Structure 1
Amino acid sequence: MSVVARQGFKYTVIGYLGFILGALSTYFVFPYDFAFYGKLSYILTTAEIMVPVVVFGLSYANVKFFHQTQKEGKHQNVLSLSLAGILFNFGVFTALFLLFHYLFPEYKQEAWWKLKYIILALVLVLAISHVLNRYVSNYKRIVVPNIFENIFPKLANLGAFCLFIFLGMSQPTAFGFFFAMFTMSTIGYFVYANSLENLKPDLSTAYVKKDGLWKDILNYSFFGFLGNIGNYIAIKIDKFMIGNALGMEELGIYSTLFAMISLISIPQLGLFNISAPIINKSIAENDMEELDRFHKKTSLSLFFLGAVLFSCLLVGFPYLVSFIKNGTMLRESEPVIWILGSAILFDLATGFNGNIISMSKYYRYNIVFMIFLAVLTIGLNYYFLQHTGLGIAGVALATAISLTLYNIVKISFNYYKFKVHPLTIEMIFVSIITTMAITVAIILPDFSNNFLNLIYKPFIVLVMIYIGNHFLKIFPIHDYVNKKFIRSIFKPGK
């Protein structure tokens, strides 16, 4: 079994362990105070929106130019200069942030200013982590970094929440713990990167000046920055706008529902990180046939698994919230689950279409697409928040519309330029099977015990999907559920 399969599977296992930790927190801890959970979510979201400005696309340049620089033994030189660039960018960004609020003091009433110290500090450690995460992915090693990327944020949220709500410690103390966990993850990235290959800081500029390589790196980084910031704004702006427009409690409810939905997209993150070098290689060798095959195969896998999990979530949600404190508040916002989940499922079906563009000579087009997505998302969110009474359901609808249109545009572009696309007839079969399974599970009678309903209705969904998949041969489950593959997962050094 290939290293991609092993690493992808291990990544997914870690992802689901993180999900279990997050789920336990989401279901049994955070509902005790949606307002404080909303504040933690607001801090992280705001910092993540600012991170692309500080990173300035340098993280992706460490993937794009890795093979070229590694051949000449200068990949660590580029890494060192990238980290130095992060520190410089952070200094400039902080100065501009303070200057803006000095010139426009009315914005000091906003939540981001009141929480500026922890937000700015978090921006720096997240930016460094982002560069190291992409650098490590060149070695096709994503499992350990996933612990830093997935587990540590969960621990940060849980620990900070418990310190403030249950142990009665001050809010600054809780925020201090929150920041400390992200700092530890950044240190972990350094340690792990050094274990793969001894890190030797090299800030000399002779190599990047040779043949004007620095121009290529900065040019690629600049366009990567524009595309990346558009992506972060489009994906994160909903929580930011909810926090400012509706308050921290509504943001806490939305974040809780979003955490539930995130179950279906966990495999996507690991596959994209490990696939980036493969996509880059296929494009460099102009092997579009292999790229199309890989694109379709991975997209179908993501869509199938996501559809199974989403179906179970939909039929189990009404009974799950009955065991959650303040669960009635979540039940009242159930449309968010259906709307956002459907959009994320379609996003899974489109696969890594954005990565294909970013790794090709057409990477500049990502700017246009990301600007389109960011403007559309902000505009729709503003409309639904200011001109409708839909609340967080309106925000979910705005995000779903913009994300779906964005993916359609990227699919069309990749087909026009590369003759590759992710959609297959098998996806239609998956949609039919899961729709039937959901419908049957919903119309089946309920037991008086909600725990039995929570178990048996998703079980009905799983059985129906399994039977449908068995006869239609959609997804090769046997390739992943066998002794040979399980043994390969635990091979040392793999």
Structure 2
Amino acid sequence: MGVIKRQAFKTSLASFIGVAIGVLSTLFIYTKVFNEGQNGQINFIQTAPLLLVTFASLGLGNLVVRFFPMFSGPKNQHGYLGLLMLILLAGVSLYFVLSLSLFNFLPPKYRAEYGLISAMVVIIGFRDLFTTYAQNFRRTTMPAVIDTIFLKAGIPILAIAYFLEWLSFRQVLTAVVGLYAIVAISLAIYIYRLGHFHLNFQWKFLAEKKALLREMAFYALYGVLGAAGGVIALQINSVMITELIGYKSNGIYTIVNVMANVIAIPYMSMINVTAPIAGDHIRHERWDQVADLYRRSSINLLIMGTFILLGLWSCLDYVFELMPNGERYAVGKYVILFAGIGKLFDMATSINGRIIGFTKYYWIGFYTILFLAVLTVSLNWVLIPMYNIEGAAFGTMLSSLLFNLVCVLFVWVKFKIQPFNVKSLLVIVLGIGLWGLTKLIPDFGNPILDIAFNALFITLFYTIAVLKFRLSEDLNEFYRQILFRIKRRNFKFW
């Protein structure tokens, strides 16, 4: 777990910084500089390509890590990256043929922004390929840093330039696409600097691996379906809220959901690091190590997720007091709670979906993701008209709980491993208990002081309890390393 801890910590730190910039920009810059329509247009050219690229990439995202061990060995990995890029180019070419052939039948907003959206499809396809490919070499920190520098910090700079009338709005839209292109190019340069940017794939090697290529094609087909289901499950809330109850409600949902997404940062960071390791263990049938990785990832993620959710929920009222027009967004308070619970259970079940995906039962994972998408849409259709944005959040939470429960049970039945133990229950009890104690803390009449005191109280007692009861051996070891470095006056995380 040493590599996992280092990479997950550094990636989480970079992601937290990126999210902090994103949240502050959303709350204090975008709403000041752009009107509602302009914000929607900027969001549209970034989110619309996400669904399109799942089809244009021909399921490539599911191949990158899954089949890397079959190509690894020589220095150039048999030109695996070159093969992946060729597949992506074929998918992008197919996208252009179909979209141009059906151009007159496309939605008006899509036609109006066809050039920018199509450019984003290509750019995001390569960005995602390079980001995922870097995971094969346990490299997740630098992609997160690159994303933070150019996107999370770059777009607010464009907004300020527009506010100062240095750029027109059309130039801002074009520049956003340019920032994504810079990210993709930077990732390619990073992989090259690592010594792994090899495009000359070996035809002889591929000719000898016809069965492998057939398996990859079959896996990619399921990958397209699964990825589409995953994107629908993640993106459908905003679309359905807008259609069923209007833009205003969707604006509130978007803002509060940004805060809820903070909870999942450690999950994405750790999963990106553990996925290639889990895949290697499964390929060599080291199921004892898979089980150990499963359990340790689960308890570590549960501890971190509970801490973030507890701190966010305890300080939320004070955050709304500090926000401009905070009373308008406070109606979405329970969106954060429901979304947070769903994300927390997702974290607690850790790599269950990845375990399924790296075995011969990978097709089960794709069907469960499609089930998740259908269930999310169905619940939203019923709950949004009844309970507004809280209904959407509750439906998503319920879908996530059922989806992960199915995955956990499948892994338990098929492979006889599961992620939970008594310490998992203790973490939940600790979180609920500390939340109850925060209700006894008096108000100071100043939201900044209230946030500071609650955050300090939770951090102090939560950390002491986690270390005292040894809820995570990895965190206790990390704590010992910190003390050792302090004593040696060499306190370095990096």
> TM-score, normalised to structure 2's length?
0.91
Q: Which consecutive residues of structure 1, in runs of 5 or more, have no partner in the other structure?
A: none
1:238 aligns with 2:220: no
Contact 2:320 2:330 (8 Å CA) reproduced: yes
Alpha-carbon deviation of 1:432? Answer: 1.2
* Of 248-257 and 371-380, the range deviating more from structure 2: 248-257
1:358 corresponds to which residue?
A: 357
1:404 corresponds to which residue?
A: 401
How far apart are the structure 2 equivalents of 1:76 and 1:195? 18
How far apart are the structure 2 equivalents of 1:43 and 1:235? 17
Contact 2:80 2:199 (8 Å CA) reproduced: no
1:302 corresponds to which residue?
A: 301
How far apart are the structure 2 equivalents of 1:76 and 1:250? 51
Task: Assess, with a 3 A threshold, how the Cα gap between structure 1 residues 160 and 65 changes in structure 2: closer, same or farther.
Answer: same
Alpha-carbon deviation of 1:244? Answer: 4.7
How far apart are the structure 2 equivalents of 1:34 and 1:396? 26
- AA of the residue aligned to 2:401: T
Contact 2:61 2:132 (8 Å CA) reproduced: yes
1:323 corresponds to which residue?
A: 322
* RMSD after superposition: 2.5
Contact 2:233 2:377 (8 Å CA) reproduced: yes
Task: Assess, with a 3 A threshold, how the Cα gap between structure 1 residues 119 and 40 changes in structure 2: closer, same or farther.
Answer: same
Task: Assess, with a 3 A threshold, how the Cα gap between structure 1 residues 45 and 382 changes in structure 2: closer, same or farther.
Answer: farther
Alpha-carbon deviation of 1:122? Answer: 1.2
Write out aligned runs for 1:279-428 (5 A): 279-385=278-384, 387-388=385-386, 390-428=387-425
Write out aligned runs for 1:47-66 (5 A): 47-66=49-68
Q: Between Structure 1 and Structure 2, how many residues are aligned?
A: 485
Alpha-carbon deviation of 1:461? Answer: 2.3
Write out aligned runs for 1:472-483 (5 A): 472-476=469-473, 477-481=475-479, 482-483=481-482
- AA of the residue aligned to 2:61: S
2:190 corresponds to which residue?
A: 192
Q: Deviations over 1:124-151 (max 9, x none)?
A: 1111111111211111111111123444
Alpha-carbon deviation of 1:426? Answer: 1.2
- AA of the residue aligned to 1:152: F
Contact 2:19 2:262 (8 Å CA) reproduced: yes
Contact 2:76 2:196 (8 Å CA) reproduced: no
2:439 corresponds to which residue?
A: 442
- AA of the residue aligned to 1:121: A
Task: Assess, with a 3 A threshold, how the Cα gap between structure 1 residues 490 and 304 changes in structure 2: closer, same or farther.
Answer: closer
How far apart are the structure 2 equivalents of 1:284 and 1:203? 23
Alpha-carbon deviation of 1:98? Answer: 4.2
- AA of the residue aligned to 1:25: S
Contact 1:156 1:177 (8 Å CA) reproduced: no
2:151 corresponds to which residue?
A: 153
How far apart are the structure 2 equivalents of 1:55 and 1:268? 25
Task: Assess, with a 3 A threshold, how the Cα gap between structure 1 residues 474 and 453 changes in structure 2: closer, same or farther.
Answer: same
Task: Assess, with a 3 A threshold, how the Cα gap between structure 1 residues 92 and 248 changes in structure 2: closer, same or farther.
Answer: farther
* Of 319-328 and 31-40, the range deviating more from structure 2: 31-40
How far apart are the structure 1 equivalents of 2:381 and 2:100? 26
Contact 1:37 1:161 (8 Å CA) reproduced: no
Alpha-carbon deviation of 1:248? Answer: 4.7
Contact 1:234 1:377 (8 Å CA) reproduced: yes
- AA of the residue aligned to 1:6: R
Q: Deviations over 1:443-480 (max 9, x none)?
A: 43212222211211232222332343344321344422
- AA of the residue aligned to 1:287: R
- AA of the residue aligned to 1:48: L
What is the DSSP-based 3-state SS (H/G/I as helix, E as strand, rest coil) of the residue aligned with 1:452? helix
- AA of the residue aligned to 2:451: L
What is the DSSP-based 3-state SS (H/G/I as helix, E as strand, rest coil) of the residue aligned with 2:209? helix
Task: Assess, with a 3 A threshold, how the Cα gap between structure 1 residues 67 and 123 changes in structure 2: closer, same or farther.
Answer: same
Alpha-carbon deviation of 1:91? Answer: 2.4
How far apart are the structure 2 equivalents of 1:14 and 1:148? 9
Contact 2:311 2:455 (8 Å CA) reproduced: yes
Could you tell me which of 41, 44, 50 is aligned with 1:42?
Answer: 44
How far apart are the structure 2 equivalents of 1:131 and 1:253? 33
Contact 2:78 2:202 (8 Å CA) reproduced: no
How far apart are the structure 2 equivalents of 1:432 and 1:51? 42
Contact 1:145 1:189 (8 Å CA) reproduced: yes
Task: Assess, with a 3 A threshold, how the Cα gap between structure 1 residues 415 and 121 changes in structure 2: closer, same or farther.
Answer: same
Alpha-carbon deviation of 1:189? Answer: 0.9
Contact 2:81 2:197 (8 Å CA) reproduced: no
> TM-score, normalised to structure 1's length?
0.91
How far apart are the structure 1 equivalents of 2:441 and 2:220? 54
Contact 1:159 1:177 (8 Å CA) reproduced: no
What is the DSSP-based 3-state SS (H/G/I as helix, E as strand, rest coil) of the residue aligned with 2:332? coil
* Of 346-355 and 90-99, the range deviating more from structure 2: 90-99
- AA of the residue aligned to 1:410: C
Percent same amino acid among aligned pairs?
24
Contact 1:230 1:374 (8 Å CA) reproduced: yes
1:28 aligns with 2:25: no
Task: Assess, with a 3 A threshold, how the Cα gap between structure 1 residues 164 and 397 changes in structure 2: closer, same or farther.
Answer: farther
Alpha-carbon deviation of 1:341? Answer: 0.9
Write out aligned runs for 1:212-223 (5 A): 212=210, 213-223=212-222
Task: Assess, with a 3 A threshold, how the Cα gap between structure 1 residues 285 and 426 changes in structure 2: closer, same or farther.
Answer: same
Alpha-carbon deviation of 1:166? Answer: 5.7
Task: Assess, with a 3 A threshold, how the Cα gap between structure 1 residues 303 and 288 changes in structure 2: closer, same or farther.
Answer: same
How far apart are the structure 2 equivalents of 1:359 and 1:288? 12
1:95 corresponds to which residue?
A: 97
How far apart are the structure 2 equivalents of 1:421 and 1:450? 42
- AA of the residue aligned to 1:69: F
How far apart are the structure 2 equivalents of 1:95 and 1:129? 22
What is the DSSP-based 3-state SS (H/G/I as helix, E as strand, rest coil) of the residue aligned with 2:268? helix
Could you tell me which of 162, 167, 170 is aligned with 2:168?
Answer: 170
1:4 corresponds to which residue?
A: 4
Alpha-carbon deviation of 1:74? Answer: 5.6
Alpha-carbon deviation of 1:335? Answer: 1.2
What is the DSSP-based 3-state SS (H/G/I as helix, E as strand, rest coil) of the residue aligned with 1:444? coil
* Of 57-66 and 418-427, the range deviating more from structure 2: 57-66
How far apart are the structure 2 equivalents of 1:458 and 1:200? 48
- AA of the residue aligned to 1:479: E
Task: Assess, with a 3 A threshold, how the Cα gap between structure 1 residues 175 and 469 changes in structure 2: closer, same or farther.
Answer: same
Could you tell me which of 107, 115, 118 is aligned with 1:117?
Answer: 115
Contact 1:86 1:127 (8 Å CA) reproduced: yes
* Of 182-191 and 471-480, the range deviating more from structure 2: 471-480
* Of 470-479 and 448-457, the range deviating more from structure 2: 470-479
1:262 corresponds to which residue?
A: 261
Contact 2:65 2:276 (8 Å CA) reproduced: yes
